[in-house]
């Protein structure tokens, strides 16, 4: 899967401490004094990095963002910006630009006045305000709309104004909380690339919150995947997709075949797992011993239908239950390894349609494309 994941990798080098813009260290958050909605959250974000907090509703991602902004206080742990603890620093003094899903524009003010307002609050003179407003409008490509009010703009234009307002006072850190959630799919995709363009042009540090994994994959340098207030994995988009370390990450990022089985053997970083009457070989990711249960993860696009004998380390039989033509690929749903919804994706190339519903087929995949992960609770 190709991504636009960018330069910074998942780990900051030891000599790059001076390049850290934001640091969370052992941060907890509880609203009632009993239940932690964020648990032992630690993350360093480098200057100019685009980091996304990704997870389902209730995973703690917005709470983390609000603590960084200063609207909520952590129950435990430390948050630092540019090496300084911000525990006693109010939101207005943190130098942070904010973009919200609902735009939060002043409806009675023109676009120009909406952009000038944060500069007036900071005491900038008239000429400097004019210069920065002009620059911000140019950045988001809204020239000529300075005199309109938000109600006279489309949803996409309003979101551009909200982004421009967050950038107009030239902050070093911008926080975005589900900023594209109110837009339709085509406009969301356009704005994803627009935000990414601005990030590259300005080299500003962005912390972004979303529940949309495709959005996170397109835009981010690194993604922190959260579940129930706990970080499951932090990595670059490609690493999350290709090398998930937890069953939840494999399930949440992209489509995935998950086979629950019991370990038969473990040797040299590989294991053999009994699943539905078959023996499947896989990379050991979760610590496991013979007799342990694991979840096997295989991406559908890595499954080959009717391969040549002996080509793959794993080959099993299957029965085709359903075929769906999706333009660039044929989606094959079958019975395999004791599961009724095993998926393979066949690229739309010559000869791709040589199978029919009811056919008995052989399917195969490499050992390195199969990962033995932890077992999630039943029902997930």
- On the question of pLDDT at 281 being above 70, the answer is yes
Q: What digits encode the pLDDT tens for the residues 320-344?
A: 999 998 888 899 999 999 999 999 9
Annotated domain spans of the chain:
16-242, 255-373
- Ramachandran angles phi, psi of 260, nearest 5°: -90, 125
Q: What is the CATH number of domain 16-242?
A: 3.40.50.300
Indicate the SS3 state at residue 368: helix
Indicate the SS3 state at residue 92: helix
**Tokens 């309109």, located at residue:** 148
- On the question of pLDDT at 300 being above 80, the answer is yes
Count of other CB atoms within 10 angstroms of residue 210? 24
**Could you give the count of Cα atoms lying within 13 Å of 93 in the half-sphere of its Cβ?**
7
Dist. CA 65–CA 38, nearest whole Å: 11
Q: What is the DSSP string of 18-33?
A: GGEEEEEEEEEEESSS
Residue 84 DSSP class? E
- On the question of pLDDT at 379 being above 80, the answer is no
**Which tokens in the block code for residue 256?**
């995935």
Share of the chain above pLDDT 90, in %: 71
Whether the Cβ atoms of residue 375 and residue 247 lie closer than 8 Å to each other: yes
- The torsion of the CA quartet 287, 268, 367, 1, rounded to 10 degrees, works out to 60
- On the question of pLDDT at 12 being above 70, the answer is no
Closest CA relative to residue 314, chosen from 286, 352, 349, 272: 272
57-81: average pLDDT: 96
**Which tokens in the block code for residue 298?**
């295989």
Q: Which residues pair with 322 in a beta bridge?
A: 333
Give the angle subtended at the CA of 238 by the CAs of 234 and 243, to the nearest 5°: 70
Is it true that domain 255-373 has CATH number 3.30.1360.170?
Answer: no
Dist. CA 165–CA 144, nearest whole Å: 16
Whether the Cβ atoms of residue 229 and residue 39 lie closer than 8 Å to each other: yes
Q: What digits encode the pLDDT tens for the residues 198-217?
A: 999 999 999 999 999 999 99
pTM for this predicted structure: 0.87
Closest CA relative to residue 285, chosen from 330, 245, 339: 245
Dist. CA 86–CA 95, nearest whole Å: 11
**Residue 14: per-residue pLDDT:** 41
């Amino acid at each position: 899967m190709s991504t636009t994941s960018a330069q910074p990798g998942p780990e900051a080098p030891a000599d790059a401490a001076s390049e850290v813009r934001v640091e969370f260290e052992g941060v907890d958050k509880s609203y009632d004094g009993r239940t932690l909605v964020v648990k032992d959250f630690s993350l360093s974000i480098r200057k100019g990095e685009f980091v996304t907090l990704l997870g389902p509703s209730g995973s703690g991602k917005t709470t983390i963002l609000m603590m960084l902004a200063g609207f909520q206080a952590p129950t435990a742990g430390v948050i630092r910006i540019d090496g300084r603890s911000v525990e006693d620093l109010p939101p207005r003094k943190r130098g942070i630009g904010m973009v919200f899903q609902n735009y939060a524009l002043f409806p009675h003010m023109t676009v120009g006045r909406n952009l000038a307002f944060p500069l007036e609050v900071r005491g900038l003179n008239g000429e400097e305000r004019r210069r920065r407003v002009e620059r911000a409008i140019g950045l988001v490509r809204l020239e000529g709309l300075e005199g309109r009010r938000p109600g006279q703009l489309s949803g996409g234009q309003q979101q551009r104004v909200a982004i421009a307002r967050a950038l107009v006072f030239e902050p070093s850190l911008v926080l975005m909380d589900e900023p594209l959630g109110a837009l339709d799919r085509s406009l969301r995709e356009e704005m994803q690339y627009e935000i990414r363009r601005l990030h590259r042009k300005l080299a500003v540090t962005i912390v972004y919150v979303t529940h949309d994994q495709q959005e996170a994959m397109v835009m981010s340098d690194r993604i922190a995947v959260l579940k129930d207030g706990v970080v499951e994995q932090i990595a670059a988009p490609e690493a999350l997709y290709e090398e998930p370390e937890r069953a939840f990450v494999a399930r949440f990022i992209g489509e995935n075949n998950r086979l629950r089985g019991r370990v038969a053997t473990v040797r040299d970083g590989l294991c053999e797992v009994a699943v539905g009457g078959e023996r499947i070989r896989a990379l050991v990711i979760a610590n496991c011993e013979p007799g342990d249960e694991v979840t096997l993860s295989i991406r559908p696009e890595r499954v080959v239908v009717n391969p040549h004998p002996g080509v793959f380390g794993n080959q099993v039989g299957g029965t085709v239950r359903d075929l769906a033509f999706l333009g660039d690929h044929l989606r094959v749903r079958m019975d395999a390894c004791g599961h009724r919804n095993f998926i393979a994706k066949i690229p739309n190339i010559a000869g791709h349609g040589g199978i029919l519903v009811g056919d008995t087929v052989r399917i195969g995949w490499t050992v390195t494309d199969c990962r033995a992960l932890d077992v999630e609770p039943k029902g997930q």
